[in-house]
């Protein structure tokens, strides 16, 4: 039917050359670069200190840490897709884990139910941030920064009210398994699983979910289009306000999940959860090639970016750098990584331009 309603194509003239596709070379792919840097660092650290390859003392905790920070990075990525920022990513995690601790403590709900309550709180507070940004038109940086400040006070007040301190003394059943167990502890007959902590599949599922959202889901694609050009998105029939609210809700939800994973790793639902989230939340996506400008995201890159930062952290930690030195070196390494990345992108872009 469509073939009847549209006109014929005007004859294409052979004189006009087809525009060449602008494809960046393989080496300009930031994901590949990250993978090489990670591999090189693993080799370096394990040659300097064999303890780096200890499966139980180093590798299992490292995987658990990476899981947390992959999800933290995804929480930021969810709004970077719009060209927005979520400065309250850590405090959203804190408020959500408070809600989890509260329902475990007072209602004694199972692990999964508490998690769902916390995720709902995270999504709700994220949606609130999105609503404020969409309705007022105020910059997301300012709105979430103010929200972060407010939540900082709120979380402290809530913990004082509910626990008289800064932490819930609860251990819902299953939490310690998430904390200490790996699949190697579960055997069928002679066959045991690999030494991978139980939190890892949760982070993998989150990454796959976010990947599916932005690659194939209409919602994710419309969020990206809104990030690419809000005016054009609105004039193409995309309900941009609702997409902004949705992206921020996803960000809050992932922040809550990251908070839960960290609480599981620490074995405590405490007020300081999320304090260390803000910088890594930006590092992971940006190292992985996600633009701050919006319109494009890389989930795989975010996972690799989070892995890189945690590998550096773990390696320097094992080499017995002090906390101050650790921060100094991690800052330098990341600056170097970002500069190299930028340099590579610029060179690749120049080549691509000269061929178009």
Closer residue to another protein in complex, CB, 221/344? 221
What is the closest distance, in whole angstroms, from the C-beta atom of residue 242 to another protein in the complex?
Answer: 10
Closer residue to another protein in complex, CB, 173/355? 355
User: Distance between CA 160 and CA 271 in Å, rounded?
Assistant: 10
What is the closest distance, in whole angstroms, from the C-beta atom of residue 349 to another protein in the complex?
Answer: 12
3-state secondary structure of 241: helix
DSSP state of 197: B
The tokens for 90 are 């850590």
User: Distance between CA 82 and CA 222 in Å, rounded?
Assistant: 10
User: Distance between CA 301 and CA 73 in Å, rounded?
Assistant: 10
- Please give the residue ranges that form the binding site for another protein (CB under 8 A): 2, 4-13, 15-22, 212, 216-219, 221-222, 224-225, 228-229, 231-239, 295-296, 354-356
Closer residue to another protein in complex, CB, 101/288? 288
What is the closest distance, in whole angstroms, from the C-beta atom of residue 178 to another protein in the complex?
Answer: 30
Q: Which residue has the tokens 């906390």?
A: 323
Closer residue to another protein in complex, CB, 193/295? 295
End-to-end Cα spacing for the chain: 37
What is the closest distance, in whole angstroms, from the C-beta atom of residue 286 to another protein in the complex?
Answer: 17
β-bridge pairing 191-192 and 187-188: antiparallel
Closer residue to another protein in complex, CB, 137/194? 137
What is the closest distance, in whole angstroms, from the C-beta atom of residue 125 to another protein in the complex?
Answer: 24
Element (H, E) at 168: strand 167-168
What is the closest distance, in whole angstroms, from the C-beta atom of residue 230 to another protein in the complex?
Answer: 10
Closer residue to another protein in complex, CB, 115/210? 210
Q: How many CB atoms lie within 10 A of CB 189?
A: 5
């Amino acid at each position: 039917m469509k073939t009847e309603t549209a006109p014929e194509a005007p004859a294409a003239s052979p004189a006009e050359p087809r525009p060449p596709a602008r494809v960046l070379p393989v080496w300009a792919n930031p994901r590949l670069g990250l993978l090489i840097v990670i591999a090189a660092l693993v080799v370096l650290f394990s040659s300097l200190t064999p303890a780096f390859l200890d499966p139980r003392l180093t590798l299992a905790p490292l995987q658990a840490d990476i899981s947390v920070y992959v999800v933290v990075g995804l929480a930021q990525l969810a709004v970077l897709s719009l060209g927005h920022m979520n400065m309250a990513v850590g405090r959203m995690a804190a408020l959500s884990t408070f809600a989890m601790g509260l329902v475990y403590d007072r209602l004694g709900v199972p692990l999964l139910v508490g998690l769902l309550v916390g995720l709902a709180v995270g999504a709700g507070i994220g949606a609130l941030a999105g609503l404020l940004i969409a309705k007022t038109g105020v910059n997301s940086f300012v709105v979430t920064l103010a929200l972060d400040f407010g939540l900082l006070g709120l979380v402290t007040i809530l913990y004082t009210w509910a626990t008289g301190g800064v932490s819930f003394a609860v251990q819902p059943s299953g939490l310690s398994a998430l904390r200490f167990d790996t699949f190697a502890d579960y055997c069928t007959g002679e066959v045991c699983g690999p030494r991978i902590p139980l939190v890892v599949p949760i982070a993998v599922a989150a990454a796959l979910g976010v990947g599916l959202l932005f690659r194939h889901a209409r919602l994710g694609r419309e969020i990206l289009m809104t990030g690419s050009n809000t005016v054009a998105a609105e004039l193409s029939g995309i309900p941009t306000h609702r997409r902004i609210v949705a992206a921020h809700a996803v960000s809050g939800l992932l922040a809550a999940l990251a908070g839960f994973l960290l609480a599981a790793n620490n074995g405590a639902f405490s007020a300081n959860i999320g304090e260390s989230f803000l910088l890594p939340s930006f590092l992971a996506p940006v190292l992985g090639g996600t633009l701050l400008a919006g319109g494009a995201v890389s989930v795989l890159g975010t996972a690799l970016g989070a892995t890189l930062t945690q590998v550096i952290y773990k390696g320097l930690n094992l080499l017995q750098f002090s906390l101050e030195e650790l921060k100094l070196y991690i800052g330098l390494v990341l600056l170097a990584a970002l500069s190299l990345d930028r340099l590579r992108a610029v060179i690749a872009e120049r080549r691509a331009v000269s061929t178009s």
